[in-house]
Amino acid sequence: MLELRLLGDVAAWYGGRRVSLGSRQRAVLAVLAFHANRVVSRSDLVRLAWGTGADGPPTTVDRLVTDYVSRLRTAFRQAGGGEQARLIARPPGYLLEVDPALVDWLRFRNLVSHARAARSAGDDADAADLLRRGLGLWRGPALADLDSRSLDPLRARMSDLRLAAAEDFATGELARGGGAEVVELLAELASEHPGREGLAALLIRALHVAGRRDEALAVYQRTRFHLTGHLGVDPAAVLDDAYRSVLHGQAPGPAPPLNRGREVGEGRPAQLPATTAAFTGRQEELAELLTLVPDAATEPRGVVVICAVDGMGGIGKTTLAVHAAHRLADRYPDGCLFIDLHGYTRAVTAVEPGQALPRLLHALGVPAEQIPAEVEDQAALYRSRLAGRRMLILLDNARTAEQVRPLLPADPGCLVLVTSRRRLSTLDEARSVSLDVLSPADATALFSRIAGPGRVAGHPGTIERIIELCGRLPLAVRVAAARLRARPAWTVTHLADRLSDRHGRLAELDDGERGVAAAFSLSYHDLTAEQQRTFRLLGLHPGTETDPYAAAALTGLPLARVGRILDDLLDAHLLVQPAQGRYAFHDLMRAYAADLAQAEDADDVRRAALTSLFDHYLATAATAMDTLFPAGMFQRPRIRAVDSPSPPVLDTVTARAWLDAVRQSLVAACAHAASHGWPGHARRLSATLALYLDFGGHFTDALTIHGHARHAAGICRDWPAEAHALTSLGTSLDGLGRHAQAAEHLEHALVICRAIGFRAGEARALNNLGYVHCRWGHYAQAADYARQGLAIFRETGNRLGQADALDTLGIVHRQQGRYDEAVDHSRHALRLYHELRDPLGKAMQLERLGGIHARQGRYQEAIAHLEQALHLDREIGNRPGEADALNELGLVHRQQGRYATAADHHRQAIELYRKIGSRSGESAALNGLGETLYAVGRPDEARIQHTAALALTLETGDGHEHARAHTGIARIHHAGGALDLARRHWQEALSLYTGLDVPAADEIRSSLTALDQAATAHRRQ
């Protein structure tokens, strides 16, 4: 008998002998066997078996596909199993026709399905037996001997089902009082998936049942370290509960159900867009969607239901999906999520999983600072947050299955609706609902409902003609009917004539997006000339949103007039309004507008419009920056005023509000300017916005803007601008804790500045290098850089630069314990900032002085300075400074014994550091919180904080905080009697502090000496 194996090495066996297959044959077999008895298109077979990247398929892949399928047929036939596994060519690809019992993956799926049915029926013993048999089919990781990354989607689905089955099996065994037999299985899977909390909790309980208490506790510590140090989140209650039951020696009880999810914050997500009142037709498709969902009353645990709604653009996919979602929402008590994946949005990059997952996690109540950086970790956290919940998730406008797959829940209980223009055939387990155009009856009903019965009565033949001219495409029908309703003077015949007189353009309704464009053209040609021009030029905007001021710049129209036109376009559904005063195109409408501009407006007209837009953004940004940061005005480029209307930037509040509102538009404008012929605008935007981006904590946006500016400067050989962009990149990278990259960019900037004699840029690069080296604990080198920068600033008369360099020197001396010198430098810098009327610099120095006084024991002065700094930072929006002040206040309150207040300040600082992405600041605040928790007798919680700080500093290279974390952990181990561990951590700290040449090294030596003396005395007893 033939057997096809995927649950381990990929192989075909017949009559007890393995069929000889090459690696590519096994890859093809894996794809076809995974989808056994279903057609796999040639394109999907190529994508999965060969891949699509640089190492993807050769140009002759079509011939190779045929060849490899033929070889598989031959191999099966020669082995004697040709009749049991038939490879059939069936458009658009191939079908492997085989008894499911001969494919281990299909047998496993069937066993799991039957096990779940048995458990729902109350037959736990049968369910356990079925799961045991299914899990026994696995011989290692899925597709283990195939290293092609292109097969990862298949591996992921197989692995997810294995994990779910293992968790179900273990839960059942523990509930029946057993569990020892599942330890080996759970340990293997937990080592492969260290962030899966439910799995770890089950392993802890199973080890406890087996009497292996120490191993159970070790599993908890490993998992907690992974979650806090790598993912930046605290363990779920299910993990902590398992740990406490072991720690307190409680009798192991049954495992709680894995579907007990975390709290997701107040309320429940309700993100579905409003359903349209004019929803018409689609009854068959709607019924199909509604019947896909199992009734919670008959199947309490449920299953993950995935349905992909596909069809051409404008066919009504989103309308149907949203309507169905509203009908189904009451079956999903934990809420509804919605996200537009922009799979087919022109000039807007499709939303990748790494962009979508943070938004979904945020909607699930995960704070931004707890969202991991890596997509795999984001997906793991997302699946964990969805575990056990009954939620409806609508993923709109997807491009590929790969874009969707990381957004799918792993555990049962959810419904996922996906809309896409493509048939997502490789989205396994998904039911596909493909939409065709409306039936004549439904299209007529839709038109009549929108236009109004009174407008269409008595004209059945003409209405039929109109809907056929619209190709019965829902979007085209809606636009035509809306125009008729909005024009009382029009007759149905007049509208039909207008639709007919399109010189063949409506004939393109059958051709993909051109159908949508043809429908939109009816709306466009109903506009006045001025409205049409505005519509076209708005399509040139590189961002996703605009406002009346930007529209006025693009069009050259007065503000009041352009505002009325925007409202007209909004009423005509050619624009949407995501927020008051903000306007946006639907993705297809925007593409249509841009195409029109390309076709109807001359190159010089389009260029002039975009130049005016970029001038507007640059001029308004300069005004806002001069209002917020007047002291740095002379260091920024001089920007000329513009003729177009400008928003009222009257004070620091309105200046910051404008910058915050248009920040993403500024990022998009800079990117477009740099790559489409406006390099000067990109360079000046970078130099103008640098301070706002850094002190607002917008480091990621800063990297984008400064990166484009550097590219533009390099193309133009504008070396001062390139040096400036490199220095700004270095500053932003340092803010993110990426110190090595920061130093690399700053050193590059320094080389350029020295080569061209750019003294101002040289001084800035030197001072910033000093700051980075101070982070690393290279204090002598840091001070040398800062002094070199200070000398140049003095030579060139740059008093603001002098204050910045004195600030760096003050930080260096504070870290070295040279507090009197640090105070002198900070006071000198404070005087300069005060004379320059620089509130940002003033707040910064007040925080520095507060921190120094805290270390000198001058607590009242420290608190006074720090609270003043905190007030200023909040007033001007200096988020990094606000976090620094909070963290230093925590230190002072701890030193004065106000531990609850200290812990609160440290936690606020941690939250803010995470929001802005400052890993160095976060590690300092974590250490501060750890020291506070230790002081109040909570060593276990303190160790968690120090361990998290240790993990962060390993990434950032922050030597001082790394040593501080080791010191805190050593102190905790010493108090707990773990003297060897204490010695090991103190020795690590001593090595670091000695290299830093700071007084803390002497304290560590004293601790180690006392430890050695105690050990010697103990041995003599």
pLDDT tens string 937-970? 999 999 999 999 999 998 888 888 999 999 999 9
Q: Which residue has the higher pLDDT, 137 or 121?
A: 137
> How would residue 311 be classed by pLDDT, with cut points 50, 70 and 90?
confident
pTM above 0.95, yes or no: no
pLDDT at 511 (0 to 100): 33
Please list, in sequence order, all residues whose beta carbon lies within 8 angstroms of the beta carbon of residue 222, skipping any fewer than 6 positions away. 194
Asked if residue 647 has a cis previous peptide bond (ω within 30° of 0), the answer is: no
CA–CA separation, 380 and 387 (whole Å): 10
Of 573, 589, 580, 475, which is closest to residue 541 (Cα–Cα)? 589
pLDDT at 54 over 50: no
Query: On the CB side of 91, how many CA atoms lie within 13 Å of its CA?
Result: 0
Place of tokens 């500093």: 953
pLDDT at 259 (0 to 100): 40
Lowest mean pLDDT among 34-48, 293-307, 333-347: 293-307
Provide the mean pLDDT of the chain: 85
> How would residue 518 be classed by pLDDT, with cut points 50, 70 and 90?
low
> How would residue 602 be classed by pLDDT, with cut points 50, 70 and 90?
very high
529-601: CATH number: 1.10.10.10
Total number of residues shown for the chain: 1021
Q: Which residue has the higher pLDDT, 931 or 591?
A: 931
> Cβ distance 233 to 380 under 8 Å?
no
Read off the DSSP letter of residue 262: P
Read off the DSSP letter of residue 329: G
pLDDT at 67 over 90: no
Q: Which residue has the higher pLDDT, 181 or 52?
A: 181
CA–CA separation, 235 and 964 (whole Å): 24
pLDDT tens string 372-425? 878 888 888 888 788 767 889 999 988 788 899 999 987 777 899 999 877 676
pLDDT tens string 904-939? 999 999 999 999 888 889 999 999 999 999 999 999
> Cβ distance 131 to 80 under 8 Å?
no
Lowest mean pLDDT among 2-16, 275-289, 675-689, 934-948: 275-289
Of 801, 808, 824, which is closest to residue 773 (Cα–Cα)? 808
532-544 average pLDDT score? 94
Query: How many Å separate Cα 411 from the centre of its chain?
Result: 21
> How would residue 502 be classed by pLDDT, with cut points 50, 70 and 90?
very low
pLDDT at 512 over 50: no
CA–CA separation, 843 and 598 (whole Å): 50
pLDDT at 295 (0 to 100): 47
pLDDT at 390 (0 to 100): 83
Most confident segment among 77-81, 161-165, 365-369, 722-726? 722-726
918-1020: CATH number: 1.25.40.10
Fold adopted by 283-434:
Rossmann fold (3.40.50)
> Cβ distance 631 to 837 under 8 Å?
yes
Q: Which residue has the higher pLDDT, 904 or 261?
A: 904
pLDDT at 287 (0 to 100): 84
Read off the DSSP letter of residue 938: -
553-562 average pLDDT score? 95
Please list, in sequence order, all residues whose beta carbon lies within 8 angstroms of the beta carbon of residue 76, skipping any fewer than 6 positions away. 2, 12, 14, 19, 82, 84, 85, 87
